[in-house]
Amino acid sequence: GQQLNQSPQSMFIQEGEDVSMNCTSSSIFNTWLWYKQDPGEGPVLLIALYKAGELTSNGRLTAQFGITRKDSFLNISASIPSDVGIYFCAGQPPAGGTSYGKLTFGQGTILTVHP
């Protein structure tokens, strides 16, 4: 099935470092979502972006909706051990289209934080 291009696939960083990951798509999305998934759990929503160019923060997390509506990035500042997990981007197409309501996910970025 279709997936977004998410990079990097994995990151190994030291506690306190900043992290950046991004997603690109060949299709336009009206909504970009960033989720975190811990082992054995479902994805938990971190940040939702609804407008091209939008920059939104949630604590140490900052995400942006690309101007072209085909990309988004997530930054985590001053990483801590509990940031460990898998981060997914997801896009939702415009309303009225045949795929509205369907989220398309990236393949995930595995984040490891060394104390």
Partner 1 sequence: DAGVTQSPTHLIKTRGQQVTLRCSPKSGHDTVSWYQQALGQGPQFIFQYYEEEERQRGNFPDRFSGHQFPNYSSELNVNALLLGDSALYLCASSWGTDGYTFGSGTRLTVV
Judged by beta carbon, residue 76 or residue 90, the one nearer partner 1 is: 90
Judged by beta carbon, residue 1 or residue 115, the one nearer partner 1 is: 1
Judged by beta carbon, residue 59 or residue 115, the one nearer partner 1 is: 59
Residues 6+ apart with CB under 8 A from 20: 73, 74, 75, 76
Least spacing, CB of residue 102 vs partner 1, in Å: 5
Do residues 74 and 84 lie in contact, with contact meaning Cβ atoms separated by under 8 Å? no
Least spacing, CB of residue 8 vs partner 1, in Å: 15
CA angle 87, 16, 38 (to 5 degrees): 25
Which residues here bind partner 1, judged by CB under 8 A? Answer: 1, 3-4, 6, 31, 33, 35, 40-45, 48, 50, 88, 90, 99-108
Distance CA 81, CA 42 (A): 20
